[in-house]
């Protein structure tokens, strides 16, 4: 198949990797966007979800926000943001209008898994543990920081991990609205009938996605306070049986 | 310059006006919208069905051979990690710029959710139920179809709902290979800066996802009448 040799040629040509529109530059661009959006979503969503979970309120919204997020096509939201008068101007931010629209859309799509998992993590702390902490005379903040948060951390982290992979996927789709990132290579290859190039871009995106997932799994394992083989209810995050794609999983854009 | 040089003055979708919500657009481009919606539904339905048909034997195999289970789950998780915009091009060398490419890609995503929920549902069947069925003289096949699958249905249907709603949303990305249903309209709306087209297609997409979800809830209630009293 000639497409594969084209792809190989594209990937092995050094000029395609360097320079302004090169693979490295786009890769860094997309990673930067992904990390920024994830950080924004964590700052915006995590404290609120943890607090609600601690209080046991607002569960309906916290659980259903994932369902709502799933029904909204990433592509549609990106397109609406890019073509809207708000937010921003054509020159705002390093990547222009599409860049800002992408960042906002990415942040919004990172919120549901983070919020839902954080809320569920707080609620799933066993009632007896909660009672025991209260019986020992712990105050609300003490219970939250010393008991509920450490016990819920693996599940909270799995939400962040889910969000990370999802944001990376969504950032790829930004190329459909002339946004920044590696997806540009794919769409460019396709719209110019240079399928080898499109395939090369797809391969790079997929490899980075898998690498991110693996890194996140390692980070999640490191965050688990219970020793291996201990009474942790959470399965080993590296094992495929872990809830990477649990019922709360959203479509990878 | 104007798209419509009618006597009624500028329509709400000329280049100058370009409103988000426009009933004239709905009226004038009706057939185009209907065609896109029909294509969207067809691609979604076929993808989820194909995913279900493949997920079924996979889940049964994973249940029977413990060693296979971790492999199947690892591979499906790996597929789920790959962004759709990357997955479609990876399939193009084999299937070309056809609806098949979109359907295979979407079926693979649906598959990952469905295999998991099938396994989970089958695992949730109580051992004593399984034993009494065997004690009554049921064979493996009858046990599966008459006892285990009906009891696994609620969990499976939950997975099916998630898979269907995500597939509706993901179908839009199929516009990369020109078969994205409503996604084609969104793409066209972006490239021609046509707000009414963009907005209408997006709204139909979300409405479609909600409708299909409701449809599946109704189907589940009809299929599992015994759960009705329990789940208030």
CATH code for position B90 = 1.10.3720.10
pLDDT at B216 over 80: yes
Closest CA to B88 of A47, A14, A198, A239: A198
CB A81 within 8 A of CB B199: no
Q: What is the pLDDT averaged over residues B216-228? A: 87
Percent of chain B with pLDDT over 90: 52
- The pLDDT of residue B117 is 92
Weakest mean pLDDT among A94-108, A144-158, B196-210:
A94-108
Distance from CA of B135 to the nearest CA of A (A): 32
- The pLDDT of residue A173 is 87
Mutate to test the interface with B, among A1, A174, A245, A248 (most CBs of B within 10 A): A245
Which residues 63-102 on chain B approach chain A with CB closer than 8 angstroms?
Answer: 69-70, 73-74, 76-78, 80-90, 92-93
- The pLDDT of residue B7 is 45
For B189, the closest chain A residue by CA position comes to: A79
Mutate to test the interface with B, among A75, A78, A238 (most CBs of B within 10 A): A75
Q: pLDDT band for position B202 (50/70/90)? A: very high
B230, part of any domain:
no
User: Higher-confidence residue: B203 or B16?
Assistant: B203
User: Higher-confidence residue: B76 or B16?
Assistant: B76
User: B190 and A202: CB-CB below 8 Å?
Assistant: no
B101, part of any domain:
yes
pLDDT at B189 over 60: yes
Q: What is the pLDDT averaged over residues A70-84? A: 85
Here the tokens at position B149 are 């699958």
Q: What is the pLDDT averaged over residues A224-234? A: 53
**Dihedrals φ, ψ of B221, to 5°?**
-65, -40
User: Higher-confidence residue: A98 or B76?
Assistant: B76
pLDDT at B213 over 50: yes
User: Higher-confidence residue: A2 or A145?
Assistant: A145
- The pLDDT of residue A67 is 81
CB A174 within 8 A of CB B190: no
Q: Chain centroid to CA A48: how far?
A: 18
Closest CA to A205 of A41, A47, A23: A23
pLDDT at A111 over 50: yes
CB A193 within 8 A of CB A210: no
pLDDT at A250 over 70: no
B72, part of any domain:
yes
Q: pLDDT band for position A191 (50/70/90)? A: confident
Q: Which CATH superfamily is domain A2-79+107-245 in?
A: MetI-like (1.10.3720.10)
How does pLDDT run across B1-38, given as a tens digit for each residue? Answer: 444 444 455 577 777 777 788 887 887 888 889 999 99
User: Higher-confidence residue: A239 or A164?
Assistant: A164
Q: Is the ipTM reported for this complex over the cut 0.85?
A: no
Q: pLDDT band for position A241 (50/70/90)? A: very low
- The pLDDT of residue B67 is 86
In the 8-state DSSP scheme, what is residue A244? G
Q: What is the pLDDT averaged over residues B162-187? A: 91
Mutate to test the interface with A, among B15, B83, B199 (most CBs of A within 10 A): B83
- The pLDDT of residue A23 is 86
In order, the DSSP letters of chain B are --S---TT---TTSTTT--SS-HHHHHHTHHHHHHHHHHHHHHHHHHHHHHHHHHHHHHHHHHH-HHHHHHHHHHHHHHHHS-HHHHHHHHHHHH-SSHHHHHHHHHHHHHHHHHHHHHHHHHTS-HHHHHHHHHTT--HHHIIIIIIHHHHHHHHHHHHHHHHHHHHHHHGGGGGGT--THHHHHHHHHHTT-HHHHHHHHHHHHHHHHHHHHHHHHHHHHH-GGGTTT--
- CA–CA gap between residue B191 and residue B231 (Å, rounded): 48
Closest CA to A158 of A216, A108, A229: A216
Distance from CA of A47 to the nearest CA of B (A): 27
- The pLDDT of residue A243 is 42
- The pLDDT of residue B43 is 95
Percent of chain B with pLDDT over 70: 94
Q: pLDDT band for position B48 (50/70/90)? A: very high
- What is the domain range of residue B118? 24-223
Our count of domains for chain B comes to 1
Q: How many CB pairs under 8 A join A and B?
A: 176
CB B144 within 8 A of CB B85: no
CB B106 within 8 A of CB B169: no
Q: pLDDT band for position A253 (50/70/90)? A: low
Q: pLDDT band for position A193 (50/70/90)? A: confident
Q: Cβ of B44 under 8 Å from any chain A Cβ? A: no
User: B170 and A71: CB-CB below 8 Å?
Assistant: no
How does pLDDT run across B107-147, given as a tens digit for each residue? Answer: 999 998 999 999 999 988 999 999 999 999 998 889 999 99
Q: Give me the residue from A3, A70, A198 closest to B166, CB to CB.
A: A70
Q: What is the pLDDT averaged over residues A23-36? A: 88
Q: Mean pLDDT score of chain B, rounded to an integer?
A: 87
Helix, strand, coil shares of chain A as percentages rounded to 5? Answer: 75, 0, 25
């Amino acid at each position: 198949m000639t497409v594969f040799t084209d792809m190989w040629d594209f990937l092995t040509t050094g000029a395609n990797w360097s320079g302004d529109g090169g693979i490295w530059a786009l890769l860094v661009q997309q990673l930067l966007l992904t990390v920024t959006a994830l950080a924004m979503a964590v700052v915006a969503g995590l404290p609120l979800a943890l607090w609600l979970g601690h209080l046991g309120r607002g569960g309906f919204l916290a659980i259903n926000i994932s369902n709502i997020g799933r029904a909204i096509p990433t592509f549609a939201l990106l397109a609406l943001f890019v073509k809207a008068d708000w937010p921003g101007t054509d020159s705002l931010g390093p990547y222009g209008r599409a860049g800002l629209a992408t960042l906002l859309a990415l942040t919004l799509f990172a919120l549901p898994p983070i919020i839902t998992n954080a809320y569920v993590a707080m609620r799933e702390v066993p009632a007896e543990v909660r009672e025991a902490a209260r019986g020992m005379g712990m105050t609300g903040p003490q219970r939250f920081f010393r008991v509920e948060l450490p016990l819920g951390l693996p599940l909270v982290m799995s939400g962040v991990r889910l969000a990370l992979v999802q944001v990376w996927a969504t950032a790829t789709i930004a190329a459909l609205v002339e946004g920044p990132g590696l997806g540009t290579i794919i769409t460019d290859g396709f719209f110019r009938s240079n399928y080898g190039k499109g395939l090369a871009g797809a391969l790079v995106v997929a490899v980075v996605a898998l690498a991110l997932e693996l890194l996140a799994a390692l980070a999640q394992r490191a965050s688990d306070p219970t020793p291996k083989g201990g009474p942790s209810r959470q399965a080993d995050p590296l094992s495929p049986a872990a809830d990477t794609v649990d019922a709360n999983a959203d479509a990878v854009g | 310059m104007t798209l419509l040089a009618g006597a009624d003055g500028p329509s709400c979708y000329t280049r100058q006006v370009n409103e988000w919500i426009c009933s004239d657009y709905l009226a004038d481009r009706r057939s185009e919208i209907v065609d896109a919606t029909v294509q969207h539904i067809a691609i979604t339905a076929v993808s989820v069905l194909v995913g279900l048909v493949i997920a079924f034997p996979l889940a049964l195999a994973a249940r029977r051979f413990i060693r296979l289970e971790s492999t199947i789950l690892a591979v499906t998780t790996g597929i789920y990690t790959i962004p759709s915009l990357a997955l479609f091009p990876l399939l193009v060398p084999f299937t070309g710029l056809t609806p098949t490419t979109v359907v295979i890609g979407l079926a693979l995503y649906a598959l990952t959710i469905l295999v998991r929920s099938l396994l989970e549902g089958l695992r949730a069947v109580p051992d004593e139920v399984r034993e009494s069925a065997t004690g009554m003289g049921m064979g493996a096949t009858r046990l599966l179809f008459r006892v285990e699958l009906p009891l696994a249905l609620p969990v499976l249907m939950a997975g099916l709902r998630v898979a269907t709603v995500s597939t509706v949303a993901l179908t839009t990305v199929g516009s990369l290979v020109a078969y994205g249903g409503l996604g084609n309209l969104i793409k066209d709306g972006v490239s021609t800066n046509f707000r009414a087209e963009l907005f209408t297609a997006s709204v139909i997409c979300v409405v479609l996802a909600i409708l299909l979800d409701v449809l599946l809830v109704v189907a589940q209630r009809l299929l599992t009448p015994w759960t009705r009293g329990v789940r208030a």
